[in-house]
Structure 1
Amino acid sequence: MDYYLFLDESGDHGLKNIDLNFPVFILCGIIMSKDDYQSLRISFNEIKQKLWGDSKVIFHSRDIRKCEKEFKILLDNEIKAGFYKELNSTISNSNYTVISSIIDKERYIKKYGKLRNDVYEIALSFIVERTIFFLDSIAKQDKNLYLIIEKRGKKEDAKLKNHINDLLRIGTYYVSPERLRTYNTKVQFVDKRKNINGLQLSDLVAYPIARYSMDKERANPAFDIIEPKIYRRGTRIF
């Protein structure tokens, strides 16, 4: 059985300038089996076809919130209500697991300084570890893991690919390289224009989780929908 780990981020992973309104970096992973992903693709594309008559529309969290680009139609409150109802229903009813890594950049700098390892790579290592724990808990044999990551640039992608190769070669503190290779782990960098609905789901999920991490008391209905999907081990959530 093939499993996909779709990865998208919210916030700037750089440490030089910190936005006080959004001082965190989150890398969000969505784990789905191949069959469950096909169901999500169909559901997302049905929403796109219904509103735009075209499945090529790309769901992007910021554009949706700001009603920008294709999402200017959401300035019509009736259309907006219908869109959110269908989108929330799909996000709630689809079968997937969320594993995210959130880094408070101010706390990170105070502890490690600005010259420490790339926070994207640290977040990715954490998510890969927990993904292996999740796959270990599934009884099915012959599982294959594909990391699906949106292209960011040749230099950035090459750096990240080297980091992933290092993970496969030497493992992490909790996961041996042999354990990683058990799942035939492979990585794919894809262009945003490829319109990968799994990456779009990761983008939609990342922002409300980041907001929740910054203010757990603030009303956050989007997080309430996502919360049951977050990976748990015992009393801990990831």
Structure 2
Amino acid sequence: MHEAAAFSEYIIYADESGSPVLGADASDFPIFVLVFLIVRKSYYAGSLVPQFQALKFETVGHDQLILHERDIRRQSGAFAFLQVSVQTRAAFIGRLTKMIEEADIHLCCAIIDKEKLAERYSDPWSPYDLALTFCIEKAAKFLQSEGENGHAVHVLFEARGQKEDRHLELEFRRIAAGQPKIGRALPVIQSFNWQPMFVDKRSNSTGLQIADLAARPLGLAYLRPDQENRAAKVLQHKMVFPHPKCFP
């Protein structure tokens, strides 16, 4: 059995928006966005999860509703009830936004501009690998500032498939071991015992759902800086560093 002190007081949930494949979604969303949601475990279990469970019970009568940004935006699937009226949709979105605004959470975000990446490099690295490097670095610096050095830090990803998960875990462990594809090895990253985990899409993880809700709005703020984006404004105040890491 592990000693409780070996575990970090924080947990990280990761999710993305956009395809990591160069050339995919070129006209609609030509970027790849990765978000790390960092949250203290005691707050997560004692306050954040119960709040989101309550929202689900009050909205649909059960807690199996999975907050998926795409379905909410399209008012489809389990969120078809948002089509009932403008008032219904506004009330739900307003409450969800307020909950995230008031939540004691911290975000790291990396945005890879795939068009610029392809233009600048003849044989560019995977946008996912690049974003992962940047997010781990930012998360490590935050955890270090919280005195978490030497602790085991679990990072939860939504499972995408055996091949994809195997590649991601390999790249994650390479970065954690001080062998990033970009830049140089940072001692701060190696100060932690990183533990990547891959979670089934049906797990109904509150942390993964919040990370999913954050990724696209932050990406849209990069693509369309002059467009009104209330969600992105709320999320900006949760950033570990003032702005997402944009590359190249």
What is the TM-score with the length of structure 1 in the denominator? 0.91
Identity of aligned residues (%): 29
Structure 1: any 5+ residue segments left out of the alignment?
A: none
Equivalence for 2:18: 11
**Equivalent-residue separation in structure 1 for 2:177 and 2:186 (angstroms):** 11
1:170 deviates by: 2.5
1:89 deviates by: 1.4
Residues 171 and 40 of structure 1: CA distance in aligned 2, closer, same or farther (over 3 Å): farther
CA contact (8 A) 2:15 2:35 kept: yes
Aligned runs of 1:176-215 on 2, under 5 Å? Answer: 176=187, 179-215=188-224
CA contact (8 A) 2:153 2:194 kept: yes
Equivalence for 1:216: 225
Q: Structure 2: which amino acid aligns with 1:20? A: S
1:56 deviates by: 1.0
Equivalence for 2:75: 67
Equivalence for 2:31: 24
CA contact (8 A) 1:3 1:143 kept: no
SS in 2 for 1:170: coil
Q: Structure 2: which amino acid aligns with 1:2? A: E
1:66 deviates by: 0.7
**Equivalent-residue separation in structure 2 for 1:220 and 1:189 (angstroms):** 31
Equivalence for 1:78: 87
Deviations 1:131-160 (A, max 9, x none): 111111114676431111000000000011
Q: Structure 2: which amino acid aligns with 1:17? A: A
Matched, 1:131 2:161: no
1:21 deviates by: 2.0
1:3 deviates by: 1.4
CA contact (8 A) 1:147 1:187 kept: yes
CA contact (8 A) 1:3 1:144 kept: no
Residues 50 and 236 of structure 1: CA distance in aligned 2, closer, same or farther (over 3 Å): closer
- List structure 1 runs of 4+ shifted beyond 6 angstroms: none
Aligned partner (choices 151, 158, 161) of residue 153 of structure 1 = 161
**Equivalent-residue separation in structure 2 for 1:224 and 1:134 (angstroms):** 21
Higher mean C-alpha displacement, 160-169 vs 94-103: 160-169
CA contact (8 A) 2:23 2:30 kept: no
**Equivalent-residue separation in structure 1 for 2:90 and 2:10 (angstroms):** 33
**Equivalent-residue separation in structure 1 for 2:43 and 2:151 (angstroms):** 15
RMSD of aligned alpha carbons: 1.8
Residues 219 and 126 of structure 1: CA distance in aligned 2, closer, same or farther (over 3 Å): same
1:40 deviates by: 1.7
**Equivalent-residue separation in structure 2 for 1:88 and 1:12 (angstroms):** 25
Structure 2: any 5+ residue segments left out of the alignment?
A: 1-7
What is the TM-score with the length of structure 2 in the denominator? 0.88
**Equivalent-residue separation in structure 2 for 1:162 and 1:140 (angstroms):** 24
Equivalence for 2:186: 175
